[in-house]
Structure 1
Amino acid sequence: MITALDAESLADCVSLYVDTFNAPPWDESWSPDDASLRLNDFLATPRSTGLCLWGTERERDLQGFVLGHLERSGADDHFLIQEMCVRRTLQRQGHGTRLLEALAEALPTVNHWYLLTARDSEASSFYEKNGFRPARRQGVFVRP
């Protein structure tokens, strides 16, 4: 079952986020408080959209989510996927693809989608299989 990601589902998203990104291959060190602040900020962004993928209505366990926001570029809206994750035990079973397809259905006027992820990773392979490609002209620049 897919529902809108809202304030009520945010605690479940935070728990899944910490569990997913603190484990391999990411091995990050998210605290629940920091993850909550991050996801709350993204959800509060104007024109944000998020979806949650749940188990059966009886189980109601969060299996994955996607969250981002629309950005205007000229006469078009682009969508920045800011976070997406699927429960580690359920990865490579089509759940992430299902979330991306539901997001595209929820935003039918969006033609340009983008995100940031690690190069040469399982995540980048997943996104390429779902129609994303590395940007041709743009790069990411960082400062210390």
Structure 2
Amino acid sequence: MTSGDLDACVSLYVDTFNAPPWNESWTDDDAAQRLGDFLATPRAYGVCSLSSDGQVLGFALGHLERSQGDDHFLLKEMCVRTSMQREGHGTRLLQALTDHLAHVRHWYLLTARDSDASAFYERNGFRPAGRLGVFVRP
């Protein structure tokens, strides 16, 4: 994923997360800022899934963080076009990340508990982080 993919990823992001089950209210400008910031993060890496005609079907984006002598990967965003979900695109995106980041043993992400997304990540080898909690303010 490069800055050249950003416009297509922004459109996909807005379409995906403004629809059920998320029902969020993203604008193109806000999504472009968010994804652009993530892509500009040092040691960022992302991948896109493309149709045969070059249309972006999905993407995954995150960055490496160093901790106690190891690189960890924080998956910041991932989405697949709603009409293309449950066809293996998400799993292939994770596999492409894994192939590129083969040296990384520790991966992290945040998603809604007890959701289709959490079930997807569990099927792909992730597990709830036990003792860790998410704190927000206010």
TM-score bucket of the superposed structures, by smaller chain: over 0.9
Counterpart of 2:24 in structure 1 is 28
Q: Which residue of 2 aligns with 1:125?
A: 119
Write the letter of the residue equivalent to 1:43. Answer: L
- Secondary structure of 2:49's counterpart equals strand
CA distance, structure 2, for counterparts of residue 135 and residue 108 of structure 1: 21
Q: 2:14 aligns with which of 8, 15, 18?
A: 18
Write the letter of the residue equivalent to 2:26: W
Moved over 3 A (4+): none
% identical equivalent positions? 67
Aligned to 2:77: 83
Give the Å deviation of 1:50.
0.3
Q: Which runs of 5+ in 2 are unaligned?
A: none
Deviation at 1:142, TM superposition (A): 0.8
Q: What amino acid is aligned across from residue 21 of structure 1 in structure 2?
A: F
Query: Aligned pairs, how many?
Result: 138
Name the Cα RMSD after superposition. 0.5
Structure 1 residue 136: Cα displacement: 1.4
TM-score normalised according to structure 2 size: 0.99
Report the TM-score, using the length of structure 1 for normalisation.
0.95
Instruction: Quote the residue 1:51 is aligned against.
Output: 47
Per-residue CA deviations over 1:39-94 (Å, capped at 9, x if unaligned) read 000000000000011011xx111000000000001110000000000000000111
